[in-house]
Amino acid sequence: SQSQSILSGTSLAGVLRHRAERIVNTLGGSSTLVNELFGFVVGKQSQASRLVVHEKVIEKADDLVQNRIAIDRFTGGAYHGALFQEQPIFGGSVCIELELRNPKDDEIGLLLLLLKDLWTSDLPVGGESSIGRGRLKGIQADLIWNRPQNPKQWQIRQSNGNLQIEDGSDLSKSETLVKDDLEQFV
């Protein structure tokens, strides 16, 4: 059988949680929003995450074995006897699937900001981001809001360096959603 490269759901959830904490702290908000979204364990109290991050196969990626050396952080030189090999993947595509159960407006706004950071390569995923690895670039996003009374669906695409939002919505409306929703928890 052929081995496949995967993007671990738990790894991506950890990356998203860390960035969500930074966003909330920057805006002067409470960590309650992040804990309610991603779950928590404090002593005997706990709550499961309501954000489900699915594990996905990375398609059409090329792998390459590279020889590297470890660097001594104190001297800046090569670490004696620390030659190693690694096999990162390059290129390819992955479809990230996030599912938020019982979403609140401020949580949707926070997820849109996290999506923007993933989309623009500002939020690296996986190891060795210090040498440029783990950067994702958005191509298309399908947002589905399954509200019983008023379901909505949007599709975001990159076109000539700009984001296009289809299905009767425009970018200013989604920016308003993010701004209004984030102001609720700041």
Q: Could you write out the DSSP letters of every residue in 65-83?
A: -EEEEEE-TTT-SEEEEEE
Tokens of 9: 């759901």
Say what the pTM is: 0.76
Structural tokens at position 5: 């490269």
- Exposure letters 89-101 (e unless 16+ CB within 10 A, then b): eeeeebebebebe
Confidence band of 168 (pLDDT split at 50, 70, 90): very low
- pLDDT tops 80 at residue 53: yes
- Which of 158, 144, 53 lies closest to 96, judged by CA? 53
User: CB under 8 Å to 119, separation ≥6 — which residues?
Assistant: 136, 137, 138, 141
Q: Of the spans 16-25, 58-67, 70-79, 89-98, which averages the highest pLDDT? A: 16-25
Structure tokens at 159: 């076109």
Under a CB-based contact definition with an 8 Å cutoff, are residues 175 and 154 in contact?
no
Ordered alpha helix ranges (H), 56-135? 105-119
The band of 111, judged by pLDDT with boundaries at 50, 70 and 90, is very high
- Between CA 157 and CA 5 the distance in angstroms is 25
Reported confidence tier of residue 137, pLDDT bands at 50, 70, 90 = confident
AA letter at 138? G
Higher pLDDT, 30 or 176: 30
User: Smallest Cα–Cα separation from 95: which of 49, 146, 141?
Assistant: 141
Note the pLDDT of residue 131.
65
Residue 172's pLDDT band (cuts 50, 70, 90): very low
Identify the residue whose tokens are 């398609």: 59
Between 57 and 175, the higher pLDDT residue: 57
Look up residue 57 and give its amino acid: V
